[in-house]
Amino acid sequence: MGAYMVGVLVPLVFTLLLRSSKNGKKRGVPVDVGGEPGYAIRNCRFPVPVESAWEGITTLAELFEEACKQHFDRRLLGTRKLISREIEKSEGGRSFEKLHLGDYEWLTYGQAFEAVCSFASGLVKLGHGREERVAIFADTCQEWFIALQGCFRRNVTVVTIYASLGEEALCHSLNETEVTTVICGQKELKKVIDISGQLDTVKRIISIDGELPPNAESVPASVSWTLTSFSDVLRLGQQNSVDPELPLPADVAVIMYTSGSTGLPKGVMMTHKNILATGSAVLTIVPNLGTKDVYMAYLPLAHILELAAENIMAAVGISIGYGSPLTLTDTSNKIKKGTKGDASMLRPTLMACVPAILDRVRDGVRKKVDATGGLSKTLFNMAYARRLSAVNGSWFGAWGLERILWDFLVFRKVRAILGGRVRFVLSGGAPLSADTQRFINICLGAPIGQGYGLTETCAGGTFSEVDDASVGRVGAPLPCSYIKLIDWPEGGYLTSDSPMARGEIVVGGPNVTVGYFKNEEKTKEVYKVDERGMRWFYTGDIGHFHADGCLEIIDRKKDIVKLQHGEYVSLGKVEAALIVSPYVDNIMLHADPFHSFCVALVVASQTTVEDWASKQGIQWVDFADLCRKEETVKEVSGSLLKAAKAARLEKFEIPARIKLLSEPWTPESGLVTAALKIKRETIRKVFSDDLAKLYSDS
Ligand SMILES: *[C@@H]1O[C@H](CO)[C@@H](O)[C@H](O)[C@H]1NC(C)=O
Ligand SMILES: *[C@@H]1O[C@H](CO)[C@@H](O)[C@H](O)[C@H]1NC(C)=O
Ligand SMILES: *[C@@H]1O[C@H](CO)[C@@H](O)[C@H](O)[C@H]1NC(C)=O
Ligand SMILES: CC(=O)N[C@H]1CO[C@H](CO)[C@@H](O)[C@@H]1O
């Protein structure tokens, strides 16, 4: 086969390329900072934190206005035309909505600016007063962005709320910020109506799609809202134009409520300056960002990653096409069979992702390849293995004849899933697995810029550079951030550790937000200003620096428990060690100060456990039954013990008893976050009886 020939000849060239680029490039260097003693690193290329990449521009409102002047006739916002909406019945009798969507319809920068000004004026005409806040509670769409920019032009602070937030959290966020105008879609309006009796401050609702939900009749008579459609607000504004009232850099642009893993959500206050600093920093890191690019917008705008990304895209003349996770590809759930998904219609060059979505892309491709079987499968696996050894170590090792050949034979089809032109993927929100990172690198032929940041640091933190092909790390400090590690003796992490400094990650710089809304106590606990005037945020994450100045996240401080006899157990560390057992699909270790040992809830992996049971000749009714059997629990415990020994865990770290669960933990069940991180508090509550039993049985 021709492919083999190439396979034998080309590696020589690769090896040469690899050598020349593997020079141990420095990306972060130590820096002298104030505040609590620690070990701090800054970006190599930027001695002082970046504040704005645009001269004379200090707010998002100015940034947008400038961009609209400069790119007046270019396309800015695109939304797909709805051709039809159908309900399909599955075999089980459940019904699914399927959409037939047409091509993108575009607003130019000039038209978008006009809409933004109209919205700003319309808001005033509706009676929205100075210093009152607006909440946007909706899926990502063009109107969201227009409303956001409209509010900025009136110096109105926007409260953002995750569309998936529960009733209590929603009520809390609207109450706490005394929101008077809520902008929402039909689905979200239904939720707002459900809690209408408890909302004292809301006076106006702006409905994005102009449609009323089925429960619209059930609003209590005591509630005196006005309801206006988005298009009517624009019309009102057009007829009653009002001058802008622009904000200052230190004015709060957004109060962002995010779902924490515990308790009620906290609102993080972000100034224009904060978001501008993060955006400016990201701009320095994505190569050649410019007017030729097209950005696929589909992640929640209530997430800082997407909000910052769209503001930056709109600042440099890029076109933003809107979509949704459920309509992204031709095979997405809500796309009518035979019609096109958002990505194949838009053909974006840039997109942002969270690891859960990239994992899904990877699994989808793997499944498809396995299902096809035969020569295609052999070819795919061979191509993948060859490319893996080529990119391993250096992204620059990835060029050459062989790549072109494999791309043509195999990966072109994979790339077509996302439109075929993606040249850069931004990933954030949670750590990306090394396996997925490699898979996307290879199949898409695109680098992934992985970031580490938090809402509290306005997504500022670290970012892996394009030419960094390593996996499992989150990169060097962003140009707007300093990253400091400080000792955490109780957890056993010290900056004096060798070979690498380890400790709690503290982020400093102009990107660090001003704190939590109406929550001074919590703000004081995790934000500190040093003697030089720099703000630092204490993340509670544990990391270590590599020799080139890149950060790796290794643990989480909150997850450390002191046992009865004084030993500290790092839950995350132990879970990471035990999850390698083939029988384990997911695991939560539980430790408490009233006992001297740990216990664990283990979600069993159905295929491996059933395989084992068949081989043992065990009879079982259903999987839940199999998981209850003593011999199964014994087998899985044995496997955990082996994994623990391999990771050299201490005896007190190994769960003394386990409960085997048959049902997987999914974001839908609320037991893991959208990024698939386990939600300890929720799991503890749901399985409190099981946990109590594990302790009492002993
Ligand atoms: C913007 O609004 C905030 C609070 O509503 C206010 O404190 C600030 O002074 C306003 N900024 C300007 C430039 O008027
Ligand atoms: C919101 O405020 C109203 C009235 O002050 C109160 O009845 C309601 O319980 C509050 N809800 C939350 C979640 O704080
Ligand atoms: C990639 O590199 C790592 C370490 O540099 C090595 O352990 C691994 O085996 C390599 N994988 C392949 C497929 O070459
Ligand atoms: C609001 C804020 O945190 N401002 C700080 C930004 O960073 C500079 C140093 O680069 C400080 O001087 C500011 O106080």
Q: Specify the residue with its C-alpha closest to ligand 4, atom 3.
A: 510
Contacts for 653 with CB less than 8 Å, ≥ 6 apart: 569, 574, 598, 644
CB 460 within 8 A of CB 278: yes
Longest dimension (CA), the chain: 79
Give whichever of 266-280, 409-423, 558-572 has the largest mean pLDDT: 266-280
Please report which ligand is nearest the Cα atom of 512: 4
Q: Specify the residue with its C-alpha closest to ligand 4, atom 2.
A: 510
Contacts for 38 with CB less than 8 Å, ≥ 6 apart: 484, 485, 486, 487, 495, 503, 506
Q: How far is the CA of 273 from the centre of ligand 1 (A)?
A: 14
Please report which ligand is nearest the Cα atom of 171: 2
Give the tokens for residue 118. 């109209």
Q: Which atom of ligand 2 is nearest to the CA of 197?
A: 7
Q: What is the mean pLDDT of residues 110-127?
A: 98
CB 609 within 8 A of CB 583: yes
Cβ of 532 below 6 Å from ligand 4: no
CB-defined site of ligand 3, < 6 Å: 388-389, 392-393
Q: How far is the CA of 130 from the centre of ligand 1 (A)?
A: 9
Alpha helices in 52-105 (DSSP H): 60-70
Rounded to 10 degrees, the C-alpha dihedral 265/271/275/278 comes to -100
Angle between helices 167-176 and 186-194 (to 10 degrees): 80
Query: Domain 60-73+110-319: which topology?
Result: Rossmann fold (3.40.50)
Q: Phi and psi for 187 in degrees, rounded to 5?
A: -60, -40
57-61, 569-573, 629-633: lowest mean pLDDT where?
Answer: 569-573
Nearest to 51 by CA among 481, 454, 463: 481
Q: Phi and psi for 666 in degrees, rounded to 5?
A: -125, 160
The per-residue pLDDT for range 412-446, each reduced to its tens digit, is 878 888 899 999 888 887 777 777 888 888 888 77
Give the number of C-alpha atoms closer than 13 A to the C-alpha of residue 665, restricted to the C-beta side. 27
In this predicted structure, the answer to whether residue 263 has a pLDDT above a threshold of 70 is no
* Burial status of residue 477 (CB atoms within 10 A of its CB: 0-12, 13-18, 19 or more): buried
The H-or-E segment that residue 638 falls in is helix 630-646
Residue 529 DSSP SS3: strand
Q: Write down how long the chain is.
A: 698
Task: In whole angstroms, give the CA distance from residue 599 to residue 590.
Answer: 5
Q: What is the pLDDT of residue 403?
A: 67
- Amino acid residing at 459: A
Contacts for 194 with CB less than 8 Å, ≥ 6 apart: 167, 215
Q: How far is the CA of 392 from the centre of ligand 3 (A)?
A: 6
DSSP β-bridge partners for residue 529: 535
Q: How far is the CA of 392 from the centre of ligand 4 (A)?
A: 39
64-78, 419-433, 471-485, 524-538: lowest mean pLDDT where?
Answer: 419-433
Return the number of other C-beta atoms located less than 10 Å from residue 133's C-beta.
Answer: 21
Rounded alpha-carbon distances, angstroms, from residue 402 to 10, 22, 38, 349: 7, 20, 47, 23
The per-residue pLDDT for range 329-380, each reduced to its tens digit, is 888 889 998 999 999 999 999 999 887 778 777 877 777 777 777 777 787 7
Structural domain boundaries in the chain = 2-49+354-420+422-556, 60-73+110-319, 563-696
In this predicted structure, the answer to whether residue 666 has a pLDDT above a threshold of 50 is yes
**Whether residue 499 has a cis bond before it, omega within 30° of 0:** yes
In this predicted structure, the answer to whether residue 570 has a pLDDT above a threshold of 90 is no
Mean pLDDT of the chain: 86
The per-residue pLDDT for range 589-623, each reduced to its tens digit, is 999 877 889 999 999 999 899 999 999 999 999 99
| pTM score of the predicted model | 0.79
The per-residue pLDDT for range 186-240, each reduced to its tens digit, is 989 999 999 988 998 999 999 998 888 888 777 777 778 899 999 999 999 999 9
> Cα angle vertex 72, ends 67, 73, to 5°?
135
User: DSSP character for 395?
Assistant: G
Q: What is the pLDDT of residue 408?
A: 67
Task: In whole angstroms, give the CA distance from residue 612 to residue 623.
Answer: 13
Task: In whole angstroms, give the CA distance from residue 426 to residue 431.
Answer: 12
Q: CATH classification of 2-49+354-420+422-556, choosing from 2.30.38.10, 3.40.50.2000, 3.40.50.720, 3.20.20.70?
A: 2.30.38.10
Q: How far is the CA of 251 from the centre of ligand 1 (A)?
A: 6
Rounded alpha-carbon distances, angstroms, from residue 199 to 177, 182, 195, 678: 11, 11, 7, 32
CB-defined site of ligand 1, < 6 Å: 131, 155, 247-248, 251
In this predicted structure, the answer to whether residue 37 has a pLDDT above a threshold of 60 is yes
In this predicted structure, the answer to whether residue 22 has a pLDDT above a threshold of 70 is no
In this predicted structure, the answer to whether residue 9 has a pLDDT above a threshold of 70 is no
Task: In whole angstroms, give the CA distance from residue 78 to residue 628.
Answer: 53
Nearest to 176 by CA among 257, 270, 258: 257
pLDDT band at 587 (very low <50, low <70, confident <90, very high): very high
Q: What percent of the chain has pLDDT over 70?
A: 91
Distance from the Cα of residue 515 to its chain's centroid: 21
Cβ of 175 below 6 Å from ligand 2: yes
Task: In whole angstroms, give the CA distance from residue 11 to residue 23.
Answer: 19
Contacts for 354 with CB less than 8 Å, ≥ 6 apart: 299, 305, 427, 428, 429, 430, 674, 675
CATH of domain 563-696: 3.30.300.30
pLDDT band at 489 (very low <50, low <70, confident <90, very high): confident
Please report which ligand is nearest the Cα atom of 255: 1
Q: Phi and psi for 364 in degrees, rounded to 5?
A: -60, -45
Q: What is the pLDDT of residue 698?
A: 54
In this predicted structure, the answer to whether residue 397 has a pLDDT above a threshold of 90 is no
Cβ of 453 below 6 Å from ligand 4: no
Give the tokens for residue 553. 């996240």
Q: What is the pLDDT of residue 21?
A: 38
Q: How far is the CA of 522 from the centre of ligand 4 (A)?
A: 21
Rounded alpha-carbon distances, angstroms, from residue 627 to 343, 632, 636, 672: 42, 6, 10, 21
Residue 145 DSSP SS3: helix
Give whichever of 44-53, 77-86, 192-201, 354-363 has the largest mean pLDDT: 77-86
Q: What is the pLDDT of residue 655?
A: 95
CB 328 within 8 A of CB 80: no
Q: Which atom of ligand 3 is nearest to the CA of 392?
A: 1
The residue among 88 and 692 whose pLDDT is bigger is 692
In this predicted structure, the answer to whether residue 518 has a pLDDT above a threshold of 60 is yes
Residue 44 DSSP SS3: coil
Q: How far is the CA of 270 from the centre of ligand 1 (A)?
A: 14
Q: For the sheet containing 599-604, what is the strand order?
A: 584-590, 599-604, 657-661
Q: What percent of the chain has pLDDT over 90?
A: 48
The residue among 137 and 44 whose pLDDT is bigger is 137
Q: What is the pLDDT of residue 17?
A: 35
Task: In whole angstroms, give the CA distance from residue 561 to residue 682.
Answer: 17
Give the tokens for residue 322. 């809107």
The residue among 218 and 132 whose pLDDT is bigger is 132
The per-residue pLDDT for range 140-190, each reduced to its tens digit, is 999 999 999 999 999 999 999 887 677 888 999 999 999 999 999 998 999
